[in-house]
Structure 1
Amino acid sequence: MSALYTNENMQNLAQLKQLAPEQLKAFNDFNADVLKDGALSNKEKEIIAVAITHVTQCPYCIESHTKSAKKAGATLEELCEAVFVTAAVEAGGTVTHSTHVHNAKNKEASDVLYARSNLKSLGQLGKLASDGFKGYQAFSTVATKSGQLSSKIKEIIAVAVANTIQCPYCIDVHTKNAVKQGATGEELAEAIMVASAVRAGGAYAHMANMIQCYQE
């Protein structure tokens, strides 16, 4: 195939009914259960899903969940704000992991790679790249403040993104922020399950390419 990503490729997924019927049904049921109304509405879950697809960078998933979010009543402004939360958290993951660079240069550093106390070293980044660090802080603040989406749902999105990028610092910070904004344990749990399903969906959707390649 000359084009790796075309909508036509998705037709190959119909073959999964014969190739892996049991797994396909379980996957579809998983998605349906995760995205139904609960502590979070279907609309909120689809907005979270769109944010997560921009972590997994699956074009099939971006298209599918954007259309589903629109159908559920999400506006383009809401979706743009959600994706900017993704961008901010991904930036934050890189920024917070800079603390490991500081520890690597310190011969007296603990053998524990991930400790909350590592975040005390963020000041080093602020000193060594002050303009960039200030720019990051300003961006993160704007991305997570209330707008078309509330600060609460943005922090819930941030928790889902943090779990997807597997940044323990981001998980810790944004979980605390979300709780401060009034998020419940049920809401956070449902958001994480949406992230889980969308991450699985990226692998599922790319089977369209695998099947195409195999049969060429």
Structure 2
Amino acid sequence: MDTLTDEQQQLKQQFTVERGYWNDFWNGLLTLSPEFFKAYLEFSTIPWRSGPLAPKVKEFIYIAIDAATTHLYEPGLRIHIQNALRYGATKEEIMEVYQLTSVLGMHTCTMGVPALLDELRTAGRGAELEGELSPEQLDLQARFTENRGCWNPFWDGLLRLDPRFFKAYLEFSTIPWKNGPLEPKVKEFIYIAIDAATTHLYEPGLRIHIQNALKYGATKEEIMEVYQLTSVLGMHTCTMGVPVLLDELKRAGN
């Protein structure tokens, strides 16, 4: 790696001050395209300059989008765990971020079940899925509403098709809501981040969790900051891609 110029050193220092850390994978981008690095620095530090969320909560957002099954980006995950711990996060809080983020896989059902129900009706096989919910199903609905603080009609289909699976999901998804350390609106911020991330873009869940966050007292500024933090996800094109490019340039003798 070439020695950084004075301008590049200044950008490195500014990044370290404003973002609170430095990692060597930034050196490559800083060397190859300091103008682009400078633009990213300005873009990514907006929520760090005046945003309302506590620093460790900002890091929880990064942890969630890096650990989500739609991304699984370990280099960033490690950095943001280190940062969160430095800002006073506990292992219980970070584990709760993982627990909340782990429910992302359930969108297989929240998206897939309505499609299945539509096709069953089209095929003339949906009659058994109509009518009133059974007492068992009504009890599960009430428990979900109590434990998770909300209900959406798209759960009705799964409840009708497989109440046993719904019950298992209910138990799985409510663990962090029973005794987790994060306040409810922060839990909803985690859901908002993983639903709004460019690796997922799941609007039905996003709307529900915005509604819930507002109910728990979130402000528009806080939710906008979640969006701002999540928007930097695209930069992993460079944090992953630039080291590969540098390796290949070295291999090619350039």
TM bin, normalised by shorter chain, reads 0.7 to 0.9
Q: Is the 8 A contact 2:185 2:218 kept in 1?
A: yes
- Alpha carbon RMSD of aligned pairs, Å? 2.2
d(CA) in 2 for partners of 1:61 and 1:106?
A: 45
Q: Which amino acid aligns with 2:236?
A: G
Aligned counterpart for 1:35 among listed residues 29, 44, 48: 48
**CA distance 1:12–1:87, shift in 2 (3 Å):** closer
Instruction: State the match for 1:92 in structure 2.
Output: 106
User: What is the match of residue 71 of structure 1?
Assistant: 86
Q: Are the equivalent residues in 1 in contact too, given 2:101–2:194 (CA < 8 A)?
A: yes
Structure 1 contact 93–169 (Cα < 8 Å) conserved? no
Q: Distance in 2 between matches of 1:50 and 1:186?
A: 20
- 2: CA distance, partners of 1:22 / 1:188: 29
Say whether the 8 Å CA contact 2:189–2:226 is kept in structure 1: yes
3-state SS in 2 of match to 1:32: helix
In 2 relative to 1, CA 182–11 (structure 1 residues): closer, same or farther, beyond 3 Å?
closer
Structure 1, 202-211 or 75-84: larger mean CA deviation? 202-211
**Deviation at 1:70?**
1.2
Relative to structure 1, the CA distance from residue 106 to residue 82 in structure 2 (aligned partners, 3 Å threshold; closer, same or farther) is same
* TM-score under structure 1 length normalisation: 0.80
CA distance in 1 between partners of 2:27 and 2:160 (Å): 55
**Looking at both structures, which has the greater relative contact order when contacts are Cα pairs under 8 Å and sequence separation is at least 6?**
1
**Which segments of 5 or more consecutive residues in structure 1 lack a partner in the other structure?**
1-9, 109-118
Mapped to 2, the partners of 1:141 and 1:157 lie a distance apart of 14
Q: Residues 176 and 12 of structure 1: is their aligned pair in 2 closer, same or farther, counting only changes over 3 Å?
A: closer
Asked whether the equivalents of residues 55 and 87 of structure 2 are also in contact (C-alpha less than 8 Å), the reply is yes
Per the TM alignment, residue 75 of structure 1 is displaced from its structure 2 partner at its CA by 1.3
Aligned residues between the structures: 195
Alpha-carbon deviation of 1:60? Answer: 0.9
Identity %: 27
Q: Which runs of 5+ in 2 are unaligned?
A: 1-22, 124-151
Bigger radius of gyration among the two:
2
